[in-house]
């Protein structure tokens, strides 16, 4: 039991691994608004952690953690790797961000993942965020009405209107989305918003698709569909006009 909490704007716990043992009661991780609790030495044990408060908890490398992290509210940034047999449960209104590896993850409706983009092309995990799920990503509580929030963030005004595609998540298994195949469009399960980037008529031009399997991990990709150019629209309009005139001639 017990708790670790931020006492100022930024509270760092750098030297000590925060541990929770199985059966000992959940350990609270509390960060209120505008506070950050930096657990750079990570988490350990097979017990349970409950993240509360609207602030941020940043978790360092936690390969020895095999328990459950319940993110009830606020933000959790993964800066390393959680144990491959650990479980992270994202509650409604909570937020996950960063690039790292987690165990199994439950994404509940109303929860949010913040995906950061720094360069249009480059390396996943460096130029854009990539989360790896060593176990199962469970999306079984999502549907076209109860959606997961996906926020696309950039520091600058990046023009994506020409079309790009990135892998933003890899998982050993997907659950709750039915029979998925390469290219399956699962956009209807997500509310997509953007900040600091131009994707044309957002969010209709951004799609979430099932990508390729790489090194045994299934992928979810973000694809920005380019908007038709003015020339293309003009050509389509002319073709439609010609078709209409042709039909009228046949009728007369």
**DSSP string of 57-117, one letter each residue:** EEE--BTTB-SEEEE-SEEEEE-SBB-TT-EEEE-TTEEEESSEEESEEEE-TT-EEEEEE
Confidence of residue 244 (pLDDT cuts 50, 70, 90): very low
Give the mean pLDDT of 199-227.
84
Q: How far is CA 47 from CA 23, 42, 87, 153, 181, in A?
A: 7, 14, 11, 33, 36
Give the mean pLDDT of 13-40.
83
Asked if pLDDT for residue 17 goes beyond 70, the answer is yes
Taking the whole predicted model, whether its pTM rises above 0.85 is answered as no
Confidence of residue 16 (pLDDT cuts 50, 70, 90): low
Kindly state the helix (H) or strand (E) to which residue 50 belongs, with its residue range. strand 48-52
Asked if pLDDT for residue 233 goes beyond 90, the answer is no
* pLDDT given for residue 86 in this prediction: 97
Give the mean pLDDT of 215-240.
67
Distance, in Å, from the CA atom of 1 to the CA atom of 244, rounded to the nearest integer, reads 74
* pLDDT given for residue 5 in this prediction: 73
Kindly state the helix (H) or strand (E) to which residue 246 belongs, with its residue range. helix 230-251
Asked if pLDDT for residue 231 goes beyond 50, the answer is no
Asked if pLDDT for residue 61 goes beyond 90, the answer is yes
Give whichever of 103-112, 202-211, 241-250 has the largest mean pLDDT.
Answer: 103-112
Pairing of strands 104-107, 94-97: unpaired
Confidence of residue 242 (pLDDT cuts 50, 70, 90): very low
Task: Pick the range with the lowest mean pLDDT from 11-15, 36-40, 193-197.
Answer: 11-15
In percent, the amount of the chain with pLDDT more than 90 equals: 57
Confidence of residue 109 (pLDDT cuts 50, 70, 90): very high
Compute the mean pLDDT over every residue in the chain, rounded to the nearest whole number: 85
Question: Domain-by-domain residue ranges, the chain?
Answer: 3-251
Give the mean pLDDT of 99-125.
93
Token output for 168: 């933003």
Whether the CB-CB separation of 223 and 209 falls below 8 Å is answered with yes
Within 10 angstroms of residue 185's Cβ, the number of other Cβ atoms is: 12
**DSSP string of 205-242, one letter each residue:** TEEEEE---BTTBEEEEEEEPPPPPHHHHHHHHHHHHH
Confidence of residue 138 (pLDDT cuts 50, 70, 90): very high
Residue 46's region, left for phi above 0, alpha for psi from -120 to 50, else beta, is: alpha
* Unique residue bearing structure tokens 């993964």: 78
Asked if pLDDT for residue 236 goes beyond 60, the answer is no
Confidence of residue 104 (pLDDT cuts 50, 70, 90): very high
């Amino acid at each position: 039991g017990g708790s670790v909490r931020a006492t100022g704007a930024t509270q760092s716990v750098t030297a000590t691994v925060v541990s929770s043992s199985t059966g000992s009661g959940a350990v609270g991780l509390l960060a209120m608004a505008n506070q950050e609790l930096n657990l750079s030495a990570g988490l350990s044990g097979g017990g349970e952690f409950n993240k509360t408060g609207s602030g941020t908890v940043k978790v360092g490398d936690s390969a020895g953690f095999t328990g459950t992290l319940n993110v009830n509210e606020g933000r959790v940034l993964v800066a390393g790797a959680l144990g491959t047999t650990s479980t992270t449960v994202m509650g409604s209104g909570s937020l996950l961000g960063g690039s790292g590896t987690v165990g199994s993850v439950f994404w509940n409706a109303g929860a949010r993942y913040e995906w950061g983009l720094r360069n249009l092309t480059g390396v996943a995990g460096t130029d854009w965020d990539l989360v790896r799920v060593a176990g199962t990503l469970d999306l079984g509580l999502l549907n076209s009405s109860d959606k997961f929030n996906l926020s696309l963030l950039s520091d600058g005004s990046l023009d994506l209107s020409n079309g790009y595609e990135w892998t933003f998540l890899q998982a050993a298994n997907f659950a709750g989305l039915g029979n998925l195949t390469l290219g399956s469009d699962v956009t209807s399960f997500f509310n997509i918003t953007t900040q600091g980037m131009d994707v044309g008529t957002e969010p209709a031009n951004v799609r979430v698709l099932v990508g390729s399997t790489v090194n045994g991990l299934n992928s979810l990709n973000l694809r920005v569909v380019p908007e038709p150019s003015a020339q293309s629209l003009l050509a389509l309009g002319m073709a439609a006009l010609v078709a209409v005139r042709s039909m009228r001639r046949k009728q007369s």
